[in-house]
Structure 1
């Protein structure tokens, strides 16, 4: 089952705090959502695979296999999970995209490549893996070139993380323009809230990006229950409908 973009433009990505919460999110978003479950929340691959199988069934495959706060150490676990769980969406560090694609064994699952802001509009940091993230000299690559490399590795999109909301707006705009030129999916991630969602999306959509998967995480999670608030998901969907 392919990702269900609203009006063929936008699909939400939010975290499921439990199986029931995931079901409620899926309905609240009218299926225009990939519901995230984090490998970091599991002690090992078999436990993760077993639980994610239940999410796959509840979500008609619209599961987003996540790292956990962009933790690069989880990249190997995500790649291993891909051997058994054929989720619609995988989050992955730049360095492990090819391994994940090989383990999935098809072109049908969507795999993103995590790239970080560089501090320079038009350049993205691709050294986001467990070793390279700590390198003294980060690998900064022109956005157009990064997209080409991700395509070569079998990836489908660039996940731009951590954005800090609109703190790197100029960089987001430059990356969005590159994605528009290359007809590539963009996944803005980090610090997106109900208050800044419209502005973030305008930056991306106004640049001409054809398909966008915005990740909205902590800002819509109830701090007491750990569950994503379904009313906030409905609000986000209403915003998407007004935008596109």
Structure 2
């Protein structure tokens, strides 16, 4: 991880959650002592201009605790995310495998932490890397790469972490364990994503911590959003943060 990256985290674990609005985002930041980045999904905006106008407000109001998201790993959002990352310089941004270089933008972007989306394959120790706008829709054979090699490729591109998505909760746990071990051994960061909730969060987090992963950024989205209000439930955020503190300090 580039030492120039903004230190948006204080501990080995930083949550990544969504928020309905800026007030909800501020509540989340307070509830986690700032160990969080709040996702804003690019797919929710009709164009770059409207996205930029809103995201720059969030950046200012949250002291840049924002993460620009694709939206369910949507590869079609890769170019938009790259353009917005260049203009906004958020603390954190999400990218597909082929979008990392676009977001780094010829080494001009040294302050944004950029993850790289790889997907489970059903084959422990190997990940799918054709997650880009064109490559994800190939009808022949997926690009399956051994996990340690994938990490080195991501490092070559300038990425800061693996976003392992979609995990589908614990259904890919055996693959996830090997990914976590590889991140620990290669001094790399890990972002488990997809189907994470209060029931499986601790197990998923513990695996990464025990593997020696230097920074874990679990994405917890729909499971903690109130279906009626659309807000991320602060009580549930506090429960997640309590689990994090227990894993780090106990």
TM-score band, normalised by shorter chain = over 0.9
2:234 to 223, 230, 234: 230
SS in structure 1 opposite 2:119? strand
2:169 to 165, 181, 186: 165
Is the 8 Å Cα contact of residues 117 and 171 (structure 1) preserved in structure 2?
Answer: yes
Cα distance change, pair 230–215 in 1 and its aligned pair in 2 (3 A): same
Is the 8 Å Cα contact of residues 183 and 213 (structure 2) preserved in structure 1?
Answer: yes
Q: How far apart, in 2, do the equivalents of 1:46 and 1:107 lie?
A: 23
1:179 maps to: 183
Please say if 1:19 is aligned against 2:32: no
2:10 to 5, 8, 16: 5
Written as runs of structure 1 = structure 2, the 5 A alignment for 1:1-244 is 1-6=6-11, 9-102=12-105, 105-135=108-138, 136-244=140-248
Q: How far apart, in 2, do the equivalents of 1:216 and 1:176 lie?
A: 18
Deviates more, 1:19-28 or 1:180-189: 19-28
Q: How far apart, in 2, do the equivalents of 1:103 and 1:214 lie?
A: 28
- Cα deviation for residue 103 of structure 1 reads 7.0
Is the 8 Å Cα contact of residues 116 and 161 (structure 1) preserved in structure 2?
Answer: yes
> TM-score, normalising length from structure 1?
0.96
Cα distance change, pair 4–11 in 1 and its aligned pair in 2 (3 A): same
Q: How far apart, in 2, do the equivalents of 1:108 and 1:80 lie?
A: 15
- Cα deviation for residue 140 of structure 1 reads 0.6
Question: How many residues get paired?
Answer: 242
Is the 8 Å Cα contact of residues 222 and 228 (structure 1) preserved in structure 2?
Answer: yes
- Cα deviation for residue 106 of structure 1 reads 2.6
Q: How far apart, in 2, do the equivalents of 1:158 and 1:99 lie?
A: 16
Q: How far apart, in 2, do the equivalents of 1:190 and 1:68 lie?
A: 12
Any gaps of 5 or more consecutive residues in structure 2?
Answer: 1-5
- Cα deviation for residue 170 of structure 1 reads 0.7
Q: How far apart, in 2, do the equivalents of 1:242 and 1:59 lie?
A: 26
Q: How far apart, in 1, do the equivalents of 2:81 and 2:107 lie?
A: 11
